[in-house]
Amino acid sequence: MLARRRRPGRRSQASLRRTGSARYPVVPGAEYARRVDAADPLPDRPAPDNPQGKLVLLRHGETEWSRTGRHTGRTDVPLTEHGEELARAAGELVRGYDFRLVLTSPLQRARRTAELAGLDAEIDPQLIEWDYGGYEGRTTQDIRAELGYNWSAFTHGVIRGETPGETVEEVAARASRVLTRVLPAMVDGDVALVAHGHYLRILAAVFLRQAPRFGASITFGAGSVSVLGYDREQPAILAWNHGPQLPLEPPRS
């Protein structure tokens, strides 16, 4: 078999990503397996039919990586100053809801968003962002230049890296487990989930009974709020991608 030739002048994948630093650590593989892959037990009874509470989704505020379009999965990047402003504004948007359950991803950008939004959130490891594996920290533009075609995570998937990576369907399976937990709480009131852009788009697709890749068609800006619920017996989008102002272009990541 012929060895694959490296394109002249191109840096290695490891040198392009630079994610394993003390400042922005990647969640270690062993911890990742313990906290995320150890699935929560399913409930004793199935989810209720047509609960009347609302499912409020908050995407964390802006980070330096989200601002520059870098895929940010397990790397623990903090909010920017603007990201903190967006988190506070999101709190104003959800002030009137009757939350019986509030869950957040364990990563600091989500936990800090919940705090600034005035939400007393419980950590749920199943809400952690998509594991991008070898594409962690890289932009879509950079990945497409390397591959030579119009790559996207939803269409083509990711590769192994410092973490094993996940398929779209594996992210959807985690989202499905979260929904089995939150739907019973929606019988008594509203539920808020504070998490990440790609993850919440996939969770919304699962809630709407669509294929996980439907999430590619619903963008979700940093610091924005979306609301899911039921219209009669059908799961529905009640509001989507609301922030301090209407988006002028799709989010970079």
60 is catalytic: yes
Neighbours of 67 (CB within 10 A): 15
Q: Which residue has the tokens 């089995």?
A: 180
DSSP, collapsed to helix, strand or coil, labels residue 85 as helix
Residues 220/66, Cβ–Cβ less than 8 Å:
no
Question: Measured between alpha carbons, how far is 114 from 193 in angstroms, rounded to an integer?
Answer: 9
**C-alpha closest to that of 84 among 250, 242, 223:** 223
The catalytic position among 62, 84, 129, 162 is 129
In what helix (H) or strand (E) does residue 191 lie, and over which residues does it extend? strand 190-195
Sheet of strand 122-123: strand arrangement: 122-123, 99-104, 190-195, 55-59, 225-231, 234-242
The catalytic position among 60, 71, 196, 198 is 60
129 is catalytic: yes
Six-digit token pair at 43?
């409930």
Q: Beta 55-59 vs 190-195: how paired, if at all?
A: parallel
CA atoms within 13 A on the CB side of 68: 11
Annotated catalytic sites, by residue? 60, 129
